[in-house]
Amino acid sequence: MMETAQADALVFFGATGDLARKQIFPALQALVTRHDLQIPIIGVARSGWSLERLRSRARESLDQRGGVNEAAFAKLASLLRYVEGDYCDRGTYARLREALGEARRPLHYLAIPPGMFADVVEGLAKSGCAKHARVVVEKPFGRDAASARALDAILHRFFGESAIFRIDHFLGKEPVQNILYTRFSNLLFEPIWNRGHIRSVQITLAESFGVQGRGRFYEEAGAIRDVIQNHLLQVLACLAMDPPTGGGVDAIRDEKTRLLKAVRPIVPADVVRGQFCGYKNEEGVAPDSQVETFAAVRLFIDSWRWADVPFYIRAGKCLPVTVNEVVVEFKRPPRETFGENVPSASNHLRLRLSPEVVIALGLRVKLAGERMLGEDVELVATHQRSDEMEPYERLLGDALHGDPSLFARQDSIEAQWQIVDPVLGHVTPIYEYPINTWGPREVDRIIAGDGGWINPQAAALAQ
């Protein structure tokens, strides 16, 4: 039975790290402001800090990430506690147990590298801090299917599956949830959402910037591990899953997992890897690096709904624009009634997920005049609000309430690794590409004969 009681304390390991600065402190201020968060918030780190320095760090974080709400910050500062200590030292967990006081249902957030998980969860268990507790872990959930299973075994030594919350912040984004809502709250899509009417699907995650000083991290990850295996396969699952049945918290996760298990593992012929010119000059990058900063893959789903429909995913750095977009290309009519040479992507559904939400339906309409000639147009709906919840606010709030709906499940994660495992590492060539281009020329190979890549246009960003 899933534990749904509200957590009565929040403990975050790695309190002095980058993730806390960029995401956790802003989320905590939002939870205080909009959700009246009142439980103790205990930071744990081994940096030789004090509580006052942690409070100063929180203020600096908020200054950099949207501003300080003075009333909310005063409340947040009053809730903050700090425990200093090494994660391998039992004394650290004894001090944590003391700091928890009367709290009996803590939520432990492991904002630390996965290599430290074993020491921390064991320390929590032996000190009694894991009893009736939940634990939140950040991606990466392993480096391949085998390491993901090993990581899961470590967590399950001391926590049940219902107490483990695996964060993929993409799942907390409003536009990603909007894919599901748009599909399943509008009946007009379901009759045509299949191989009979859809020719192909393209998912693009483009970034106009490079690795931004994170060369050492990127050498360990690469584009496939960093964003395709997790974020973009989750977007694919939202696009292609069957409608959920029932109203339980696992209804959507069940369908996503079923879909991901039906995706064929990628073969080397269906992947192109690229590296932007100049990457090898980044700090922390090997001079002979073969790590991809760009990857494009072709996927197929072995189901009646999607048999033979190609799904194309590409992601890369130093591309012309920063945008995340989906284009669902519908098939053309079996006969062009007016004898025109119509572009293959004339009829499409375009879903822009960032930097703003756009839903656009591509149609063919007649040009004014005597002749029966047409042009491609888009019916566009945009949505951009500044008061929407950020992903970490939403996900951290859900974890505190024990709601796992927007968190990744282990069987889903393993299915995602099974898809990309055959092409991890250097099993395919790496091709250099110039900055501010759409990747290496070789990328056209995997989409040859299928209409070509549909590049998001910079002008469309302002629609």
In tens, the pLDDT along 231-241 reads: 999 999 999 99
Helix 70-79 with 51-64: angle, nearest 10 deg: 150
Q: Which two tokens stand for residue 301?
A: 């789903």
Same domain assignment for residues 373 and 226: yes
What's the Cα-to-Cα distance from 440 to each of 201, 422, 437, 443, rounded to whole Å? 21, 21, 8, 6
Position 154 in a domain: no
Position 436 in a domain: yes
**Residue whose C-alpha is closest to residue 235's, from 282, 178, 296:** 178
The whole-angstrom separation of Cα 425 and Cα 219 is: 11
Same domain assignment for residues 282 and 373: yes
Same domain assignment for residues 108 and 243: no
Cis peptide bond N-terminal to 140, omega within 30? yes
Domain boundary among 116, 138, 160: 138
- Residues 207/316, Cβ–Cβ less than 8 Å: yes
Same domain assignment for residues 47 and 191: no
Mean pLDDT calculated for residue range 284-288? 91
Same domain assignment for residues 186 and 237: yes
Position 151 in a domain: no
Same domain assignment for residues 238 and 130: no
Position 102 in a domain: yes
Q: What's phi and psi for 163, nearest 5 deg?
A: -100, 0
Domain boundary among 95, 114, 138: 138
Domain boundary among 96, 123, 138: 138
Same domain assignment for residues 130 and 188: no
Same domain assignment for residues 176 and 247: yes
Position 400 in a domain: no
Same domain assignment for residues 244 and 340: yes
Position 404 in a domain: no
Same domain assignment for residues 121 and 212: no
Top pLDDT among 140 and 144 is at 144
Number of domains into which the chain is organized: 2
Same domain assignment for residues 179 and 106: no
Identify the CATH number of the domain in which residue 281 sits.
3.30.360.10
Position 3 in a domain: no
- What is the overall mean pLDDT for the chain? 89
The whole-angstrom separation of Cα 110 and Cα 116 is: 9
Maximum separation of any 2 CA atoms in the chain, in Å: 85
pLDDT at 377 over 90: no
Domain range holding 383?
171-389+414-462
- Residues 443/272, Cβ–Cβ less than 8 Å: yes
**Residue whose C-alpha is closest to residue 34's, from 69, 5, 3, 63:** 69
Q: DSSP class of residue 334?
A: S
Name the pTM for this structure.
Answer: 0.90
**pLDDT value for 246:** 79
Confidence of residue 168 (pLDDT cuts 50, 70, 90): confident
Same domain assignment for residues 223 and 336: yes
Position 251 in a domain: yes
Active site residues: 231
The whole-angstrom separation of Cα 32 and Cα 41 is: 11
**pLDDT value for 264:** 97
Mean pLDDT calculated for residue range 310-322? 96
Identify the CATH number of the domain in which residue 76 sits.
3.40.50.720
Top pLDDT among 246 and 237 is at 237
The whole-angstrom separation of Cα 97 and Cα 125 is: 11
